[in-house]
A and B are shown apart, each in its own frame.
Chain A
Amino acid sequence: MKFGVIVFPGSNCDRDCRNAIEAAGFDAEFIWHRDTSVAGYDCLVLPGGYSYGDYLRPGAIARFSPVMDSVVEYARDGRPVIGICNGFQILLEAGLLPGAMQRNVGTRFICDRVRVRIESTRTPFTSGCREGDVLTLPIAHADGNYYADPQTLAELEERGQVVFRYCNELGDATPEANPNGSLNNIAGVSNEAGNVVGMMPHPERACEAILGGTDGRRIFESVAEWVRGGVRVGQDG
Chain B
Amino acid sequence: MKYVAYVDVQLKQSILDPQGEAVRSALVQMGYGGVQKVRIGKRIRVDLEAANEAECRRIMDEICSQILANPTMETYEYEIKEESGK
Contacts and interface: CB of A to CB of B under 8 A. Distances in A.
Interface of A: 56-57, 60-61, 64, 92-93, 99-100, 102-107, 145, 147-149, 181
Given A56-B67, A60-B67, A61-B67, A99 B72 contact: yes
Given A105-B18, A107-B19, A181-B16, A100 B67 contact: no
Nearest to B22: A107
A185 to B, nearest CB: 16
B52 interface: no
B16 A56 contact: no
B67 A105 contact: no
B27 interface: no
Contacts of A57: 70
Contacts of B14: 149
24 contacts: A56-B67, A56-B68, A57-B70, A60-B67, A60-B70, A61-B67, A92-B72, A93-B70, A100-B70, A100-B72, A100-B73, A102-B16, A102-B73, A103-B17, A103-B19, A104-B18, A105-B16, A105-B18, A107-B18, A145-B16, A147-B15, A148-B72, A149-B14, A181-B16
Contacts of A92: 72
Interface of A is mostly: loop
Interface of B: 14-19, 21-22, 67-68, 70, 72-73
Contacts of A102: 15-16, 73
A39 to B, nearest CB: 27
A159 B19 CA distance: 33
A191 to B, nearest CB: 15
B41 to A, nearest CB: 12
Contacts of A145: 16
